[in-house]
Structures are given as structure tokens and as C-alpha cells.
Structure 1
Amino acid sequence: MDYKYSISEDELQEMKNFFANRDFAEAIEGVKKCLEDIDRVPLNIAVTGESGSGKSTFINVLRGVGDEEEGSAKTGVVETTKVPTSYFHPYHRNVRYWDLPGIGTPGFKATDYLKLVNFDQYDFFLIITTERFKECHILLAQAIKAMGKKFYFLRSKIDSVLNGYRRGKTRNYEEEDVLKEIREDCIKGLRAGGIQSPQVFLLSCLEPEKYDFYLVQKTIEEDLPRQKRHVFLLSQPNFFQQALDQKRRTFALQIWKWSIVSVMNITTWSGANTTSVVPYLSANGDLTLMVNVLEEYKKAFGLDTRSLQLLADTFGKDLEDLRSVMRSPAASQEITQQLVYHHIKGQGVTDMGRIVTACVSQCFPKISMLASGGVAFGTTFWILRSFLQDMAEDATRVLSKALETSD
């Protein structure tokens, strides 16, 4: 038996904390609500800057949408946004990116601008420039801070700056030195304008795998309240191994909740004319739920056809080359109840379910109150954990293939 899919001490402790001092039925409803809230919590991200700063392109990269794709933020060399325009994430409809009108016009007043764009509806602001930060950026940041919200300074199109150095300096050119010089120059200007302890992130939308793209993602994630952190993380593009690892860990901590909800579906469907294709599991209840969860894994890891094609286009790879390194049936095929059934058939699923259940029961006796003496809980847990592990490994292989350079 492979024990790597068993439940961890952190998960056991979270279960005990959740069920402590609660009626069992009340706790079950609490688990359901917790999962529902994750999918419903709204996240509104404001992106602002001067005309031509690359706001729209940046939004498209974050959403995993091509500039020419239907529903993409409109890009151009002149300001195309006159009013705040929202763009939903294609897979997480509670996440919206807002392309705000350009700043820096004559007579710009930050407080009037924030009223114009409905300041209160945004969780945080991303302030983008392609050059040095100017007075308009500083005034806006100060007004945002005075109103009690977070902002982040982004210096975009770094690839163009570095290309200019390469062409202009044939000797004594060190990329890290140039990046340090740009960052320090930005910070110096912001401090002179009255911004205390500014942090500047250097980005390129044409080379999102480089520079500070992951750092700004991680910083924002850590700054967000817990209920919004989860949906922000899962909505981020998969250009970094660290992001893939964090998504896997986040999903893993939800498995015990999904397992309980899944098992309760057996009771919901009891008495109905249903046939279980897997011992202790209901085809109409928990297998359907598992299919939905696996679809979420697949999209979050960027293993669906649409995401793979965009990744291939971003890094100049062939779609089939990326697909060739995928091993998990759930990643390479349509996810159906039949696929789940064939995956677990003959793999000792019931034995693994009993192992997980026994492990949980030692610290959490209430698990025996679940359907089928809790074995269904362990079985569902093992199935979801094994699929998660397989798809996370596929995502790592796909990313490595995308970033692979030719000799």
C-alpha cells in the first residue's frame, strides 16, 4: 500500500478544531458552508496607471486570456478605457479584474479619480508604469493608503529596458545589476515623493516567468484575508513551480471537507434507486461530486485544452509536445464517473479507505458516525488525494516542458 495519500497531522488537527464543541449535524453543515463560501467570496482587483502602461495586457496575463481572445481586455497604444471595465476570470467567476481609466492627465486629482472609479468596490490596487513613477502615481498611492486599502507598484515592460541595455552596451553588462539599478531608482523617487518603505515589482508580460511576477503574487496572497487568499491563489497563472506547489497544498487541505460532504450524499440518496459502481460510494452522490472537484483541479493546474494552448503560445511550444508529458488519465481525458471508476477499480480502494478511516478514527471517533462506518470517508479521501497528486505532477512536467530551451 502507498501511504503518501494518507491524512496528515495538520489535517487531523484541523478536523478536531472544526468539530470541537459543536453538535455533529451542525458541524457537517458548517463544513458545507465553508466550501460554498470559498466559491462565492468576491475578489475585485483594480489595475491602474498611465495610458500605454500595459494595464490591459497585464490583466489578460493574470486571467490566462490571450490579447486577441474573445472577452480579453482591449489593448492599444492609446488609452482605450474611459470608464472602469471589469473582466471576469474565465474559471473563477467571483474574481474580477478592473481596467481603470488612465491617470496622469493635466490637473489630475487622486481623490476625485478614486470617487470616479468607485473606490470602495476594490480589494486592492495595482499601480503600473513603464518608466519612473511620477507625481500622479504617488498622489494616487497616498490617497489609497489614506482610505485604508493596499496598493502595489509595478514597473512593467522590463524586457524592453533590458533589450535596450543589450543593444547599447556590449561590455560590462550584467542583467542583475541593471535590475537592481532600476528598482533602486524607482524606490528613490517614491521615497522622495513621501511614500514610506515602498516596494517595487519588476515585470514583463512577454516573459511572465521572469523577474518579480511570482513575488508580487506571493506578496498579495500573504496580504489578503484568509477567505480571499484561497480564491486568489487558485486564479493565478501557472508560470512557477512555487505556485503549483502552493495550489496543491491548498487543495489538499480541502480534501477532508469534500470527503465528508461526499459521504453525506450517500444518506441524501438513500432510498433512491441508485447503483453504486464502487464499494461504499454512491454514483448519484459522491462520484458526481468527485468529478466536479477533479474538474476544478484540472483547470487550476492549467491542464485543460484551453489553458494548455495558451501556455504553448506564450512560450512558443507545440500543444502536443506539452500533452505528451501528461500521465494522469484525469488530465489527458474528459473527467467522467466512468473514468473515476476505472481509475480505482482493482487498486485496493476499499483497503486504502479503511487505512485512512482507521487513522482518522484514532484521533476523531465521530468519523464512525458517517455513512458506511466512515469507510466511505476514507475511500473518498484517498481517491481525491491520489488524483490531486497525479495532476500536480503532470502540471510540473508540463511547466518544465514549456520552459525547456532549445540547445
Structure 2
Amino acid sequence: MGQLFSSTPKDEDHGDLESSFTEYFKNYKEESKIISKETVRLIELHLKKGNIQGANSAISDALKNIDTVPINVAVTGESGAGKSSFINALRGVKDEEEDAAETGVTETTMAITPYKHPKIKTLTLWDLPGIGTMKFPPKDYLEKVEFKKYDFFVIVSTTRFTKYEVDLAKAIRLMKKNYYFVRTKVDSDLENEKKCKPRTFDREKTLNQIRSSYLHILRDNGISEPQVFLISNHDSSDYDFPVLVDSLFKELPAQKRHNFMLSVPNITEAAIQRKYDSAKQFVWLEAMKDGVLSTVPIVGILKDSDVEKLEASLSHYRVLFGVDDESLEFMAKDAQVPVEQLKKNLKSPYLLQTKNEETLGGKLLKYLEKFASANGGLLATGLYFRKSFYLQFHFLDIVTEDAKVLLREAYSKI
């Protein structure tokens, strides 16, 4: 066990490193990669030339950029359209929580108000005054709200998009930014329709009618290829909310996708899987930088510092995937069940618990043997990572499955 995965790259292995790196990133679609094509090509070029230090530097720069690059989302629209509730839904925060965006039936945002994501500090959602309340022409409005700093605009409505919002969308497009039309409170529309037509009510037909009416109005007003997302701020797993999040994620620059995806609440299994894929790419790049590309031989044992980092990593993953103790307490309170009932089908809360004379280091080495057996001893042909990274992948697998278990349980109670 002491020498499992131990190896030091030789000069003739550089070609294997390049091909392994290339093959790994082929597993991900272009819109899902967390590093750009240019960065991938640069790393491949360095590896091809045997420039290990250059590849190491390129990966370090990419990881630093991912960790620090700001993501700014602008949310605007008519008075009372549900902008603040939409911001809270994207942040995974309930309207009545302490740091929630203020909600109300009247226009509560008369000034530009930033809201940091509670878990992803590089992500800020900006609650902008509705353009109709500002009484500025679109160009002046965009200058007033400093449009250049936003990655994209979400234009929210609850009844119909006015001339103000349509003109604003055109101005945003002229300034080469993306915008998304979001129609909130469709759950209320469906409920009213069902009350009015209890015998003939058809959910999908009603949603299609709402969507078609909006698309027709937008086309008539010069928006050539409009997209309208129908959502409920109080049920982010239903309607078009998951599709909207998908669209936002895919159209972001590569280096911003990772943190944006990690910020998304666990609204569907697909969202959890995408969060997992993003986190796995990040850990894989860290492993490349600190393992394969290191000139120091890979150590055959787990040091105390490795164990501490692994404890921190597991805690971090549990928070990001919403299976940490605090999140479980909130879920248990909402579901009105004991927290232990939620935990009974989960594995991650107990991963680092030891019994009797067992040491944490010894337990981790057993996990490592199990991981090695399940994965053929290597994550990818020709790559030899430090043991701590294999365990990080193991933790990611367990935490991701726990998040899916909780989601399935939530669905089963609906």
C-alpha cells in the first residue's frame, strides 16, 4: 500500500501526459469546460515540448483566474415583477432569511443593490431599478447602472413586457451583452386557470399559450429571436427555471462557469451532476499541477497535512452541495422531521468518523484502496496523482450521491 501510484514523470513520458490531458478534456462538451480552448491548447503545447514548468504555470494561472474572476448578474424589470424573489431563488436563499433581497408588492429597489452569493463570494447579483421607474431612455439607463460590469441581464416581468423592457433589450444587444426575458409567477397563472376551467384545464397547453403570447408580442416589437423563460420563484425545480440556469451557464466565458455552476441550488439531478463535473475538472487540474507536473516524487503515505487538507476538502464539498450540517438542519426544519432522519441515508457526514483504535489516516488509506480497486488504480492512463487527490475524487463522488439522495427524498414528499 505504501507505494500505491508512486511514480515520477520522465522525459519520454511527456507525450503520454499531453495525450492524457487532451483525452480527459475530450470528455466534456465545449460549453461545459471550465478552461478556455486557448488555455487547453497552451497547456497541450507546453506538454508536447516537454516544458513541464510552462504547463504548470498555465494551469496555475487558470486556477487562480477561476477562483478570483468576478461574476456579475443584473436583474431588472417592472415594478413588483418579482426581481428580488428571483435573486433570492438564484442564491438559494428564502425571502424571509436575514440576508435575502427585500421583496414586496411595490417597487422596493429604487437604488442599485448588490447581493453576494452566500457560498460563492465571486458571484454578485445586482437588483436594479426597473427602467420604467427611472424614466430614462435605455442608453442613459444602461450608463447609469454601469452596464459594462455585468455578464448578462435578466429582464423580469409578471404580466407583459412593456416598451421600456423591449427597448432596453435592444440597447443591451447593441452593446453586445446577453439578455434573458423571464416571466415570473406562472404558478399563479396556472392556479387561476385551473379554478376558472376545472374540467378542461391543461397545464402544458396553458403554459404554451402564455409563452406564445409573449413571443408574438416580442417579435412584433422587433426582437427577432426572443427566448422567454416561464418560472416560479418559489419552485425553482419546475417550469423553465432549470433551462434558464442551463442557458446562463453555457453562455458564460469558460473561466466563470465553474463558480456559477457551484452557486446553483440543487434544483435537479442534472444540475447536481453538472456541479459535480465542474468540481471534478477543478480538482483534476489541481492534481495535474501538484502531482504529475511536480518534479518531487509522489509520496507513498498520507502526511498529517494531507489529512487536514482532506478534512477541509470534505467540509467544503458538503457546503457546496448542500449536505453540510447547517443545510441539513434547515431542510429538517422545513420538512418538520428530525435531522437524523435526513442523515440516515447519507454517507458523507460519517466519512471521517473513526471507531475504536482506528486512525483517520488509516481509514483514508482504506478508502484509497477501495477507490483504486474501483477505478483500476488510475484516474487516466499515464497519469499519477498524489494520493490526497484520489481521495478528493472519492469525497466528491460520495457528496454528489448524497445531494441526489436528498433531492429524490424531497420529490417523493411532493
After superposition, the Cα gap between the structure-2 partners of 1:260 and 1:290, relative to the gap in structure 1 and judged at 3 Å, is farther
Matched with 2:222 is: 194
Matched with 2:324 is: 304
Number of aligned pairs?
A: 377
Map residues 346-361 of structure 1 onto 2, 5 A cutoff. 346-347=366-367, 349=369, 352=372, 356=377, 360-361=381-382
After superposition, the Cα gap between the structure-2 partners of 1:358 and 1:186, relative to the gap in structure 1 and judged at 3 Å, is closer
Matched with 2:402 is: 394
What is the alpha-carbon distance in structure 2 between the residues aligned to residue 112 and residue 317 of structure 1? Answer: 52
What is the alpha-carbon distance in structure 2 between the residues aligned to residue 333 and residue 206 of structure 1? Answer: 37
Offset from partner CA, 1:70-110 (integer Å, 9 cap, x none): 22111111212121111111111100000001232384421
Matched with 1:152 is: 180
Matched with 1:54 is: 82
After superposition, the Cα gap between the structure-2 partners of 1:105 and 1:358, relative to the gap in structure 1 and judged at 3 Å, is closer
Q: Secondary structure at the match of 1:391?
A: helix
- How far did residue 222 of structure 1 move? 1.2
Task: Determine whether 1:403 maps to 2:411.
Answer: yes
- How far did residue 28 of structure 1 move? 2.2
Q: Identity across aligned pairs (percent)?
A: 35
Query: Could you tell me which amino acid in structure 2 is paired with residue 307 of structure 1?
Result: S
Q: Secondary structure at the match of 2:54?
A: helix
Map residues 109-120 of structure 1 onto 2, 5 A cutoff. 109-120=137-148
- How far did residue 11 of structure 1 move? 2.2
TM-score (norm 2): 0.81
Q: Secondary structure at the match of 2:238?
A: coil
What is the alpha-carbon distance in structure 2 between the residues aligned to residue 30 and residue 9 of structure 1? Answer: 15
Offset from partner CA, 1:189-220 (integer Å, 9 cap, x none): 11111111101000001121110010001111
CA contact (8 A) 2:364 2:391 kept: yes
Q: Secondary structure at the match of 2:133?
A: coil
- How far did residue 279 of structure 1 move? 4.2
CA contact (8 A) 2:134 2:141 kept: no
Task: Determine whether 1:206 maps to 2:234.
Answer: yes
Q: Secondary structure at the match of 1:151?
A: strand
- 2:260 alignment partner, one of 225, 232, 240: 232
- How far did residue 386 of structure 1 move? 1.4
Q: Secondary structure at the match of 1:60?
A: helix
CA contact (8 A) 1:330 1:387 kept: no
- How far did residue 239 of structure 1 move? 1.0
Offset from partner CA, 1:119-150 (integer Å, 9 cap, x none): 11111000000011111110110111111100
After superposition, the Cα gap between the structure-2 partners of 1:86 and 1:351, relative to the gap in structure 1 and judged at 3 Å, is closer
Matched with 1:245 is: 273
CA contact (8 A) 1:330 1:339 kept: no
- 1:98 alignment partner, one of 112, 126, 136: 126
What is the alpha-carbon distance in structure 1 between the residues aligned to residue 276 and residue 407 of structure 2? Answer: 15
After superposition, the Cα gap between the structure-2 partners of 1:333 and 1:57, relative to the gap in structure 1 and judged at 3 Å, is farther
CA contact (8 A) 1:263 1:281 kept: no
Q: Which has the higher contact order (CA 8 A, sep 6+)?
A: 2
What is the alpha-carbon distance in structure 1 between the residues aligned to residue 345 and residue 370 of structure 2? Answer: 30
After superposition, the Cα gap between the structure-2 partners of 1:342 and 1:99, relative to the gap in structure 1 and judged at 3 Å, is farther
What is the alpha-carbon distance in structure 1 between the residues aligned to residue 387 and residue 237 of structure 2? Answer: 38
Q: Secondary structure at the match of 2:74?
A: strand
CA contact (8 A) 1:142 1:195 kept: yes
Matched with 1:127 is: 155
CA contact (8 A) 1:44 1:122 kept: yes
CA contact (8 A) 1:262 1:380 kept: no
CA contact (8 A) 2:324 2:349 kept: no
What is the alpha-carbon distance in structure 1 between the residues aligned to residue 152 and residue 379 of structure 2? Answer: 45
Query: Could you tell me which amino acid in structure 2 is paired with residue 145 of structure 1?
Result: R
Q: Which segment drifts farther, 184-193 or 295-304?
A: 295-304
After superposition, the Cα gap between the structure-2 partners of 1:176 and 1:359, relative to the gap in structure 1 and judged at 3 Å, is closer
Query: Could you tell me which amino acid in structure 2 is paired with residue 393 of structure 1?
Result: E
Query: Could you tell me which amino acid in structure 1 is paired with residue 304 of structure 2?
Result: A
Q: Secondary structure at the match of 1:25?
A: helix
CA contact (8 A) 1:350 1:379 kept: no
What is the alpha-carbon distance in structure 2 between the residues aligned to residue 358 and residue 230 of structure 1? Answer: 21
For structure 1, list consecutive stretches of 5 or more residues without a partner in the other structure. 1-6, 271-277, 362-366, 368-373
- 2:210 alignment partner, one of 182, 193, 205: 182
Task: Determine whether 1:282 maps to 2:303.
Answer: yes
- 1:31 alignment partner, one of 56, 59, 64: 59
Task: Determine whether 1:11 maps to 2:31.
Answer: no
Matched with 1:67 is: 95
For structure 2, list consecutive stretches of 5 or more residues without a partner in the other structure. 1-19, 27-39
CA contact (8 A) 1:312 1:402 kept: no
CA contact (8 A) 2:109 2:127 kept: yes
Query: Could you tell me which amino acid in structure 2 is paired with residue 298 of structure 1?
Result: R
After superposition, the Cα gap between the structure-2 partners of 1:314 and 1:358, relative to the gap in structure 1 and judged at 3 Å, is closer
After superposition, the Cα gap between the structure-2 partners of 1:282 and 1:261, relative to the gap in structure 1 and judged at 3 Å, is farther
- How far did residue 328 of structure 1 move? 2.4
CA contact (8 A) 2:353 2:360 kept: no
- How far did residue 258 of structure 1 move? 2.4
Q: Which segment drifts farther, 101-110 or 221-230?
A: 101-110
CA contact (8 A) 2:75 2:83 kept: yes
